[in-house]
Amino acid sequence: MWREPERHSEYSPTLACYNPDHYSAPSTAMKTLICGSIAYDTIMVFPDRFKNHILPEQIHILNVSFLVPDMRREFGGCAGNIAYSLKLLGGAPLIMAAVGNDSDPYMYRLQQLGLDARHVQKIPDSFTAQAFITTDLDDNQITAFHPGAMNFSHLNHVGDAQTVSLGIISPDGRDGMLQHAREFREAGIPFVFDPGQGLPMFNGDELLQFLELADYCTVNSYEAKQLCERTGQSLEELGGRVKALIVTLGGNGSALYSEGKHVVIPAVKPASLVDPTGCGDAYRAGLLYGIAQGWDMEKTCRLASLMGSIKIAYRGGQNHKPQRDEIAVL
């Protein structure tokens, strides 16, 4: 568990920063447990095109360096992003993740946002998961990802969280994802399986096992193709294994497979197109809110689509700030 050794009125980067007493939601409120990554995203912009600096005939001895005068660091990771957007909707997210020795700024941010991080575990002698992303003028990206403490997510246990009525398993350490799926089922807590970029870690049998344990599944169009290829089943067949399978289609909306029906949910036109980072996480926050409220899945997916369209108008996964009464809830 995350512990603050003593009370301090101001943030000190040398201290653990989460204090459960600062969390604003009542401790008896039913919560949504969000299992996934907490990460720092370092985003750099190369003011040219990679193709002008990478010689195809020399690709086998690649040794290049890109000058990136524009750089920013964002708070990211699926668990952090989903919790942020769910909080905006008035939900009660409870984060379960693993972080490293460099996590104090992130923990302080969660505290300031009123996000419950009592199940964020600090792993000694490790870094918080980090993505280093370099983008060129053609929007091509070169990314290096260090999982760090995320590989220890299995040290967290679903049974340690109290007053939880719903959960989600988002990209995390492989062992942690498998373990948390079993623990959700054993605890009788319905959950969403959101494999994301972690999907390639699992073979077809393991993915089918996740679907047997889960109540809902959500993937993007690329992941949906991978899911079908690895399991050897169609989306209609996979949708029959859960209460609802949701496939996001970017600007084309999303597809809902539920109760033997296939429904297309239209996209919501965004105010502007700035940055798609974290749009899928905002969408998943909408799903979790609707499911927790007992809404039907079509209404739930429409809210999720709205959340994604709001997020895309802002840089990063946690910088959109609409008030709840500004969000048209259908």
Q: Which residues are catalytic?
A: 281
The single residue listed with the structure tokens 């079509």 is: 298
Beta bridge partners of 32: 93, 166
d(CA 183, CA 221): 28
Tokens representing residue 239 in the block? 């949708």
Q: 237 vs 123, 241, 318, CA distance in Å?
A: 40, 7, 35
Rounded to the nearest 10 degrees, what angle do helices 174-187 and 204-213 cross at? 30
Q: Using the 8-state DSSP alphabet, how is residue 161 labeled?
A: -
d(CA 280, CA 286): 10
Secondary structure of 169-193 in the HEC alphabet? ECCCCHHHHHHHHHHHHHHCCCEEE
d(CA 66, CA 133): 12
Three-state secondary-structure class, residue 232 = coil
d(CA 80, CA 281): 9
Tokens representing residue 139 in the block? 């929007």
Cβ atoms within 10 Å of 323's Cβ, excluding its own:
7
Phi, psi values for residue 315, rounded to 5°: -75, 145
